[in-house]
Structure 1
Amino acid sequence: MRNFSLPLITAVLGLCTVFSAYSFATLSPAQQAAKERGIMLYNQYKPAENELRIAAEAGDAEAQFYLGENLRHKNRHMTAEARNFLEASATQGNLYAMIRLGNSGSGLCNILGNCPSGFKTQEEWLREAWKISKEQAAQGDPEGLYILFRVTGDFDSLIKSAELGFPFAQYWLAQRYRNGDGFFWLPWRRNQEIERWFKAAAENGHPQAMVEYAVIVYEDRGDMAVVRHWIEEAAKTGYQNGVAHLAGEYAHSPSHFNFPLDLVKAYGLTSLLLVLDGGGGTLRFTERDLVKISAQMTPEQIERGKAFALEWQAAHPRPISFFPMMLDPLDSF
């Protein structure tokens, strides 16, 4: 069994995905910095094309994938350029790019019948992803099993991946059980399994699972110590929802989880969310909350709040992020 340690998974989640092994271009320090900034901006729903393009055009498969996704979302459909970058990434072995290509149609040239030599159709990309992931799954690779599930919908592969400790599989297994998938002789077993897998994913560093598990514990048992622990852990990852939850608790606007009133911390944490001034629709709520909190504070407290924000950033340097889901099943274009 592969051990997915918390430091490893949290580092991986900082890039919002896990990639199977495939070749990376050797980037210069400037290209690597542009790539990292581009991925950060992508995860914050901000324009990231310029930064990602630097590394993508240098041949980096990961940057190519993100640029393809960025262009696809920007235009609300699969453009020729987005497809080109996704194909470049998939050709280097990126299974997530293969799945995206396999789920996004075969392109205009296939419709017109004038595709260039070597052009792969939607079905061919899915077959390629199926072949590679099946080989990995046969070797007991947790990510390979997860990819096999994404390609085929085989629920047993998702369960096996979760049992082997892959946090994305654990999170999605909990969600699938919540949505009614799977069969349980005893009705309460479903809720037990939902909680079990959200907890497992949380312990493996999955930010969304941390919040989900905290809410379950609050609603089912009211164990506030456990709830507060996971809300704080989610905030430490930089996850927007976790930071917002923790700030709201400190501001008592209202407090559900018995955090002590601390306007200094509430102000500092809320101010960190101002960086999300692109997409996502959170900026106006952040600005509103900051006005409400500061109205209860003295100038000296506000300055302490600003200092707390800097201290928090130093202690938890991962950028504030929405952590968008990789290959979200609701993302159909």
Structure 2
Amino acid sequence: MKIKTILIRTPFYATLLLMCLTAHAELNPQQRAAKQKGIELYNQYKAISAIEPLEIAAEGGDNEALYYLGEALRKNNRHMTPEAKKAYESSAKKGNIYAMIRLGRIEEDLCSTMKNCPQGENSAGSWVVKAKSLAIQRAKQGDSESMYLLYEMTGNDDWLEKSAENGFAFAQFRLATKYQEGNGSFLLPSRRKQAIEQWMKASAENGYPLAMMGLAAIMIEKNDLASFRIWNEKAAESSYVEGVFGYASYIGEENSKYGFAFDPVKSYALLSNLTELNGGGNVIRDVNDTLPDIEKKMSKEQIEKAKEVAKTWKTSHPPLSFFPDKLGY
């Protein structure tokens, strides 16, 4: 089976950012900057803070900004609100399949239990039909992401496999994790392990950070510490929060059981950068537990140097992100 790795030269996060910034040229500079900031905050689990910049970008009619605005509003309120639905509908009208899927799943939303789902221009069923039709059209043109969305809508594993085989990094990761969870038929356990590693590696090489950490975990099981260190560091370089924390913690150990070189300055720098996530995710608790222990091992000069390293790292790497599933709840 041939695996396409179409994003090897352009990492997943960079490709995603490029798509976000160039998909709609009608945005003015202020709106483009607001969109980038809004999505950055959303990906750091700061839905409340993301709303204002996403509203600015949404004024320019950008379908991606409208979708994320809907997501931020819905997650902040824990259910579909009229404002969120309006944003989704505006995005869907511009061809955003993710927005169509979200509108098609309104009966799964908490608002359905609360019996206060906002009325819309179209029924949930009609949005599902439109989403499938558009996804099939794009899939026929070779769009691997649309193949994945057809899997989301149908539950047909064939679409997940086609998407993975055609190089969609997230589909490759999902296929690997499905096999890890016991799905799929394999004659031998060793074949399952081979398939898991095959697809996790394909996704990691395509630049998907969660797959980098998944592959690192596989390397630990194989006792391949050198490969574990490589993929853990790559995940950190991508600014995946869990990767940054793990890597920073390991290099802050004087005798790392995984063979990382002791570097308290860099460890302190990366951990201190993670403190900006206060209010987003739960990593701040782990950082607050770890950072003081690293600081005890450092001189005042080292701490000052670490602060400079932190600034340099931040300007030379993508924004910190949890890389949440775009259709996740």
**Residue 245 of structure 1 corresponds to which residue in structure 2?**
246
Contact kept in structure 2, 1:6 and 1:203, CA below 8 Å: no
Gaps of 5+ in 1: none
Contact kept in structure 1, 2:85 and 2:118, CA below 8 Å: no
**Residue 308 of structure 1 corresponds to which residue in structure 2?**
309
| Cα shift readout 1:174-210 (whole Å, capped 9, x = no counterpart) | 1111112111112221111111111100000000000
**Residue 327 of structure 1 corresponds to which residue in structure 2?**
327
**Residue 199 of structure 2 corresponds to which residue in structure 1?**
197
Q: Distance in 2 between matches of 1:104 and 1:191?
A: 37
The 3 A distance-change label for structure 1 pair 254 and 125 is: farther
**Residue 85 of structure 2 corresponds to which residue in structure 1?**
83
Instruction: Please list, as runs of the form range in 1=range in 2, the aligned pairs for 1:134-213 lying within 5 A after superposition.
Output: 134-213=136-215
Q: Distance in 2 between matches of 1:140 and 1:297?
A: 54
CA drift at 1:8: 5.3
CA drift at 1:259: 0.1
Q: Distance in 2 between matches of 1:279 and 1:157?
A: 33
Q: Distance in 1 between matches of 2:285 and 2:118?
A: 48
Give TM-score scaled by structure 1 length: 0.89
Contact kept in structure 2, 1:214 and 1:227, CA below 8 Å: yes
CA drift at 1:25: 6.6
The 3 A distance-change label for structure 1 pair 14 and 112 is: closer
CA drift at 1:253: 8.2
The 3 A distance-change label for structure 1 pair 178 and 10 is: same
Of 4, 7, 12, which aligns to 1:9? 12
**Residue 35 of structure 1 corresponds to which residue in structure 2?**
35
Q: Distance in 1 between matches of 2:183 and 2:203?
A: 18
CA drift at 1:141: 2.3
CA drift at 1:70: 0.2
In structure 2, give the amino acid aligned to 1:296.
K
| Cα shift readout 1:198-239 (whole Å, capped 9, x = no counterpart) | 11000000000000101101112x222211111111001111
Gaps of 5+ in 2: none
Contact kept in structure 1, 2:244 and 2:270, CA below 8 Å: yes
The 3 A distance-change label for structure 1 pair 25 and 312 is: closer
SS at match of 1:6: coil
SS at match of 1:105: helix
Of 59, 64, 69, which aligns to 1:62? 64
CA drift at 1:282: 1.9
Contact kept in structure 1, 2:81 and 2:118, CA below 8 Å: no
Identity, % of aligned positions: 45
**Residue 232 of structure 1 corresponds to which residue in structure 2?**
233
CA drift at 1:124: 1.1
CA drift at 1:13: 4.0
Instruction: Please list, as runs of the form range in 1=range in 2, the aligned pairs for 1:122-141 lying within 5 A after superposition.
Output: 122-141=124-143
Instruction: Please list, as runs of the form range in 1=range in 2, the aligned pairs for 1:277-292 lying within 5 A after superposition.
Output: 277-292=278-293
CA drift at 1:122: 1.2
Give TM-score scaled by structure 2 length: 0.90
The 3 A distance-change label for structure 1 pair 186 and 113 is: closer
CA drift at 1:23: 7.3
Q: Distance in 1 between matches of 2:301 and 2:308?
A: 11
Q: Distance in 1 between matches of 2:277 and 2:202?
A: 29
Q: Distance in 2 between matches of 1:50 and 1:323?
A: 20
The 3 A distance-change label for structure 1 pair 112 and 321 is: closer
CA drift at 1:152: 0.7
In structure 2, give the amino acid aligned to 1:153.
G
